[in-house]
Structure formats: C-alpha cells, structure tokens
Structure 1
Amino acid sequence: MSVTLKDVALAARVSISTASRALGGSGLTSERTQQRLTRIARELGYRPNPIARGLKTGQSRLVGLLVHNLANASFQVMAEVVQARLKALGYQMLLCIAGDDPQLESDTLTTLADHRVDGLIVVPTGKNGARLTALANEIPIVCLVRRDDGTDLETVLADDSEGAFVGTRYLTGLGHRRIGLIVGRPDTTSGRERLSGYVRALREASIPVDDTLIHAGHFEPETGAASCRKLLDLTEPPSAIFVANHEATLGVLRVTAERGLSIPDDLSLLCYEHSPWFEWHRPAISIVDNGARDLANLAVDRLLHRMDAKGNGADSVREYRVGARLVIRDSCRPFDPAARGSSATKLSRSKA
C-alpha cells in the first residue's frame, strides 16, 4: 500500500495540516520541523500526489510538450532543451507524440488539460485551431515549428522560406538546373514556406518551375522513398535533390543506396534540418539547419512569460522567427555537363 500524508503525520506525531505545510515548503513551519518531516517522509517512502497537490495549489508544476514524432532529429533536440530548461525551474515535462494525427492531437490536449498542466508547447497539426483557442483560455500555450491558421496563438517558427531559398540558390549556384524537391504537406506552415523558398530561388536563377520535380507528402521516411523513386525514374532525372524535411531524408538515402548511386558523383543531395548523423555519414551531408535548439529556447522563454500572470496578454507580437542557415559539407558538387551522360546512364540502369 502506498504511504499517505496521514501516515507521515502519524509517524511524526503532528497534524496532517502541519505535515502538508512542511512537505510543501510553504515556509509556515520551522526549519527544524520541516527537516524532521522531510526525513520521516523519505524513510517511509512517501511520494506526494502531484494531481492532488495541483488541485490545492493551482499549480501542477507540469508542462506539456506535444510533437509529431521522435524520428525527426529536430524534435529530439527540442525535447531535450525544453526538459532541461523546465527542470532547472522545478517543472517536469510531459512529452506527448501525436503522430501528426488531428484526432490523436485533440485527445492528447484533453488529457493534458485533465492533468492540469501549467503550460503547453505544441507543434500543431493545423486541424485543431478552435480546440487550442478554447484551451488557451485555461492554459498558457505557445505553438512551435508550425502556425495553426485556425488560431492566433503565439507562435515560434523557423524562417523556412528563407532557408529553402538559400539552399536552392546554393544548388543553382553549383550549376544544377534540374533540382528535385521533396517537401512536407502544403497545408502546413513548414511545407508551404519551404516550397515557396524553392520556387523563388528557381525564378531568381531564371529556371522554369517543373512540377514533375516537386513531390509533397506526409512527414515520414516512406514519403522520401516513394518520391525519390519517382524522381530517379523520370526520363530526365534531376542532378540534385533537396529533401526539405528530416523524415523523408531517411527514405531517400535508402533508395539511393539500393540503386547503387554515389553521392555526390551521381547525385547531389541537400537536406533540411540538422542531425549529428548527417555529419557522421560518408559523405557528410550538406544541410539547411533550421535552428532547433534556438527554436526550443525561444518557445520556453515565451511560455514562461505567458505563465507569469503579469505577462499574460501583455505583448502584441504573436509570431517569432529563428533564422535558418546553410551548412556546406560533402554531399553536393558542381554540375558537370560532360559527366552528366555517364550519371544519367547509371540512373537509367538503376531503374531495372
């Protein structure tokens, strides 16, 4: 049987209210009493009920972080940063994964509200704006990575349009004119903005936009694999592929390996979002770093500000941006028209 506060009070021969004040650190008991109660509670194996304590104090000391998956290295970094920042302030983080599923997201939001979290950082699916708006009347909420167009909640975003523009411009600067793009869903902030940055860079280089080179889909490895196969099977396949989300990159690397293609000799490859594994890969993969660590830190800053009663509703700014940057490694090379014939032959053979 679990040890209750009443058990601790009986062992210490004090009232339950005295035990509660001492173990709650209210400062209303002497230091000697607090130390004695703490020792007795530890010896008995007493663990306070955070939900019950939250009902009494109005604070659960819990903060929710709701992301899509942990396959994406950016979400892993964000979870580590958020947990470390909150732990230093005496909060516990509840990590939840919604799988980019609107219904699961809605159910998870209900669960977090039932646990009376003190705040919430959410990477929204974009399909529960009304639910988030209603919940924000009870809980401070900050959206991260994506904007939910159905709500005006404070949001922290990467500069995805500029990041995709810089990445694509790097490839055009290397002489590539047929650049495949594998990007997330166009109904998401990141997917829509990364596509727009790609298109802007092509137009700046006077390269026509070819829809057969653009593939959008769910944020998962299979999207990358299926899209990569379609790109490589084109009559005139791309000389470079820009994979604009981390999950799809895993599928692209699998397909290029299966087809025996050499990067960057047969195909230049540029990926979005940082992962230590990309640097360890051979060849090391060039990336557009979306600044996951900075995004997470800023989201925590904004949430803590909103959790402060004096800060709630005090700011008119609703959207914050963190700049993306190009990290050049070894997976891209200048386009060589003379070598294009042999590469195209190898790509053609890889279809068999």
Structure 2
Amino acid sequence: MVTKKGGVARKTGAPAHIAATRAGTLKDVALLAGVSISTVSRALTGKGLISEQTEKRIRQAAEAANYRPNTLARGLKTQRSRLIGLMVHNLVGTSHRLLAEVAQQRLGAAGFQVILCVTGDDAEQEARFLTTMENYRAEGLIVIPTGRNGPQLAKFAQAGVPVIAVIRRQEEQALETILHANEEGAQAGTRYLLDLGHRDIGFIVGRADTTSGRERYVGHVRALTEAGLRPDPSRIHFGAYRPETGFRACEAMLANGRRPTAIFVANHEASMGAMRFIRERAIDVPEDLSLLCYEDTPWFAWNKPAITVVDSGPQRIAELAVERLLMRLDGVPTQLEHRVDAALVIRESCAAPA
C-alpha cells in the first residue's frame, strides 16, 4: 500500500487487505515476511531448518498481522489438542481449590492447557462440559464426578483418553480413582472426641450417595459402636457440600434444649456454615461446645480458637492426580484405586465436656 506524506510516496509494511482489527492468516504473514506459507508454518511450529534471521522476520510479521494459531484446527489435523479437562464442584473446598492450582501449574509446565469447569455438583453442567471436551478432543480428564454421568466418562476411557476420578468413585465404571482415607479419618476424629469424654456427638456429613459421605458415616458409626454407643439418627445430618448444610444442621441440633456436647463436621464446605451459626449464636468453643472439622485449611489455624481437624491430605491428593494423569499420558497402565492417609491435627477447639 502507498501513502503520501509531504508530497513523497512511501510504502507501508502491510498489504492493504490486512486490517489491524482482525486476526491475520498464515497467508497474511507470508505476504508480510516475503516467504511461502509452508515456511511460515514451519517457523511458527518450530519444525524444519530455517535461518534465525528468517524466523525472526516471520515472527515480527505474525505480530504485525495479529496472527493467532487455530488450536482447534491443528488438533483436528494432528489428533493432539494439548487440552486437559478439569472438573470440580466448587472452589470453596480446599481439595478442589488445590487440585485446580496444582493442575494448572504442573500441566501447564508440561505443555498442556487446562480447561476448568465448576459444576456446582450439577449433573447437567457436568454432561455439557464432557460433551465440550469430547468435541475439542481433550487428551485427558481429571474429574470430581457427580456420580450421574458414568457412561459418558466411560466413553473417554474406552477411547483411550485417560480419566482420573478424584475424591469420589464413579460407581460401576472402572476409572482410576484417588480417594481420601475417609473411614479411617472419620473414625479417628470420633474416637478423639470419645476419648475426651463426649458421648453426645453431632455429626454433619456429605450426601449419603457419594463416596466420601458414605465412608465417613461408616467410620463415625464404627467408632461409636466400638465405644458401646448406639448412633442417634437425630445427631447425624447428611447434606450437600455447601455452607448452608452446616448452618441448617447446627440450627437443628443447637437450637433446642438438648444440645450435643461436640460437633464433628465431616463435610468441609459445611464447616463454614457451622462456624457461622456458632458465631452468630455466641456459643463459646470449646467451653460450651467442642468443634472438630474435616479437611484442613490455613484459616482454621488462624481462627480463635484454632480449629482441630482431620487433615485429609488435599495437597497430596492434587499432586497424585496430576502425576497419575501424566503417567497415563505416557502409557503407564491404569491403577484402579489410590488412598491418601488422613491425620488428626489437634489445636484448641475441642475439650472435655463441661
């Protein structure tokens, strides 16, 4: 293109048909750099012998043309999308948040792009995300499954796409799964409260149809039974993995005349709601009520009083999930199940009953 300035004709660097407001094509870059389209392609993908000077000119031309590679088209051609799907229920739970952070860091360093979906434990949202990952030819998945789209997840595994299920088992599907030591953790927490002298313990746990909810309930009941106690259904509250579950359960147990002397919140998200209720009602911990939570988070240690927890090892869960996915991508065979140990962390929120 030719312009005039002060009566002197001058040439600009870009052809007239390249608009700065749109993304350029390989052809545009080739015209700007004065090379063939195939040379541009080799330079931008790092394939082929190209001089340093030519490669520099091509990259400058790509920037001037506002060129962006079509990752989807490249994936369809090469069958390698470099995309990993990561699906969690929320970013409130420590396990979920750390999983997202570790996956982004380590998979990104390995050359993959992580696509995150926060499902809210909604099966329809999960199904839509899985369809999108199938359409974009995702090379692997790390999922906290809702439990309601097993056949769709199995379809990936059958096609040779590694799927790592975390925290929950996808029933009836042979997916590689990484789980907390749920029964042992809940049993250890309940035993600790029993050893302090508590006999009236409220227990707030996740949904009964999930791996963690079901197994933590079993561990709690086992500890009570070993102590010669019969579980009281009015002291056991199942619920969704949300803060309001803890608030409503505490309201049911603490708003009447016969209060438990301790509450074990074995649903991490529900811990926030339980602590809100206790704070709003000015209940003193541990003088009036001992409080034990499941899954550690930094602010539990900063709270006054610091919260005693069953630490479920969320950092190790996240690291193991990513390690196993990378190993599977390298052809290492499936291992059906892994367990990460739980540990009791004693702080200030539990004491002998008054």
Give the alignment's TM-score, normalised by structure 1: 0.90
Aligned residue in 2 for 1:251: 273
Is the Cα–Cα contact under 8 Å of residues 159 and 322 in structure 1 kept in the other structure?
yes
Q: Any residues of structure 2 matched to 1:116-265 within 5 Å, and which?
A: 116-138=137-159, 139-265=161-287
Taking a change above 3 Å as real, the CA distance of residues 234 and 212 of structure 1, as seen in their structure-2 partners, is farther
Aligned residue in 2 for 1:20: 41
Deviations 1:175-211 (A, max 9, x none): 1111110000010000001111111111122222111
Cα distance in 1 for residues equivalent to 2:275 and 2:348: 15
- Is there any run of 5+ residues in structure 2 with no aligned partner, and where? 1-21
Aligned residue in 1 for 2:132: 111
- The alignment partner of 1:48 has SS state of coil
> Structure 1 vs Structure 2: percent identity of aligned residues?
54
- The alignment partner of 1:136 has SS state of helix
Cα distance in 2 for residues equivalent to 1:253 and 1:27: 61
Cα distance in 1 for residues equivalent to 2:93 and 2:189: 19
Which entry has the higher C-alpha Rg, 1 or 2?
2
Residue identity matched to 2:44: L
Is the Cα–Cα contact under 8 Å of residues 253 and 259 in structure 2 kept in the other structure?
yes
Cα distance in 1 for residues equivalent to 2:179 and 2:285: 31
Correspondence 1:77 to 2:98: yes
- How far the C-alpha of 1:123 sits from its partner, in A, is 0.2
- How far the C-alpha of 1:28 sits from its partner, in A, is 4.8
Cα distance in 2 for residues equivalent to 1:304 and 1:284: 37
Structure 1 segments of 4+ aligned residues over 6 angstroms from their partners: none
Cα distance in 2 for residues equivalent to 1:119 and 1:34: 33
CA RMSD of aligned residues (A): 1.5
Deviations 1:64-91 (A, max 9, x none): 1100011222211111111111111111
Aligned residue in 2 for 1:280: 302
Aligned residue in 1 for 2:3: none
Is the Cα–Cα contact under 8 Å of residues 95 and 317 in structure 2 kept in the other structure?
no
Give the alignment's TM-score, normalised by structure 2: 0.90
Aligned residue in 1 for 2:351: 333
Deviations 1:230-285 (A, max 9, x none): 11135422110000112111111111112110111111101111211211111111
Correspondence 1:319 to 2:337: yes
Cα distance in 2 for residues equivalent to 1:54 and 1:21: 16
Cα distance in 2 for residues equivalent to 1:28 and 1:137: 39
Aligned residue in 1 for 2:76: 55
- Is there any run of 5+ residues in structure 1 with no aligned partner, and where? 340-352
Cα distance in 2 for residues equivalent to 1:167 and 1:40: 63
Matched positions, count: 332
- How far the C-alpha of 1:30 sits from its partner, in A, is 4.5
Is the Cα–Cα contact under 8 Å of residues 128 and 150 in structure 1 kept in the other structure?
no
Residue identity matched to 1:245: N
Is the Cα–Cα contact under 8 Å of residues 81 and 296 in structure 1 kept in the other structure?
yes
Is the Cα–Cα contact under 8 Å of residues 85 and 141 in structure 2 kept in the other structure?
yes
